[in-house]
């Protein structure tokens, strides 16, 4: 996947996650999500390392003021292409990930040495679905990137789907 042309437009966007107002700060590696005011001051920030060439991203907990140094919460999650199309869908992607992060990590507590010590796993369920037109088997992934309700399929119809969210007959056959 190429970096979306309007990716830079998410810079300085604010979101509400629970009672927290957060801001997106685009950087060379991807983007940071930082607290924007509020009563609890975060000592940690979230870095979404976006690898557009490999269609994957990492979520890293960084210590405020230390740049990109920190520990990985998730690594090599697939980028859900359907959530990269518009600014509002991209915000949905950020909110879904941040709800997961804030539910499992105390961002007010500095924990720079916790690499590999998280209990969060990206729970993806993969299904092999036989093509109706030949001997090809497609892989349908449920909870893509550990985001509940996100689906992906390796078939061409999914890749070119204009439905929102993206879908295909293989996903519909499982998700009924």
Model confidence over 56-105: pLDDT tens digits? 999 998 888 778 888 888 888 999 888 888 888 899 899 988 988 877 77
Secondary element (H or E) of residue 116:
none
pLDDT band at 147 (very low <50, low <70, confident <90, very high): low
pLDDT tens-digit series, residues 29-55: 999 999 886 555 788 889 999 999 999
Residue 111 clears pLDDT 80, i.e. is over it: no
Q: Which of 59, 51, 82 is nearest to 150 (CA)?
A: 82
Instruction: Report the alpha-carbon distance of residue 7 to residue 24 in Å, rounded.
Output: 11
Q: What is the model's pLDDT at position 106?
A: 79
Per-residue pLDDT averaged across 100-119, rounded? Answer: 64
Q: What is the model's pLDDT at position 145?
A: 62
The residues with which 153 forms a beta bridge, in sequence order, are: 140
- Contact predicate 51/57, CB 8 Å: yes
Per-residue pLDDT averaged across 102-129, rounded? Answer: 65
- Contact predicate 63/69, CB 8 Å: yes
Alpha helices in 60-144 (DSSP H): 87-104
Residue 134 clears pLDDT 60, i.e. is over it: yes
The pLDDT mean for the chain works out to 83
Q: Which of 125, 134, 123 is nearest to 156 (CA)?
A: 134
What pTM, to 2 d.p., does this model score?
0.62
Q: What is the model's pLDDT at position 94?
A: 92
Q: What is the model's pLDDT at position 167?
A: 92
Count the neighbouring beta carbons within 10 Å of the beta carbon of residue 31.
Answer: 24
């Amino acid at each position: 996947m190429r970096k979306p042309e309007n990716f830079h437009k998410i810079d300085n966007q604010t979101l509400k996650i629970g009672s927290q107002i957060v801001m997106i700060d685009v950087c060379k590696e991807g983007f940071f999500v930082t607290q924007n005011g509020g009563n609890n001051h975060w000592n940690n920030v979230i870095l979404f390392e976006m690898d557009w060439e490999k269609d994957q991203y990492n979520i890293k907990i960084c210590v405020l003021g230390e740049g990109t140094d920190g520990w990985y919460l998730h690594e090599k999650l697939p980028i859900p292409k359907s959530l990269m199309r518009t600014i509002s869908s991209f915000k949905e992607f950020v909110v879904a990930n941040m709800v997961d992060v804030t539910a499992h990590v105390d961002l007010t507590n500095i924990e720079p040495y916790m690499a590999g010590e998280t209990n969060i796993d990206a729970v993806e369920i993969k299904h092999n679905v036989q093509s109706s037109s030949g001997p090809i088997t497609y892989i349908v992934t449920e909870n893509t990137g550990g985001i509940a309700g996100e689906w992906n399929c390796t078939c061409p119809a999914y890749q070119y789907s204009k439905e929102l969210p993206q879908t295909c007959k293989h996903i519909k056959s499982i998700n009924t």
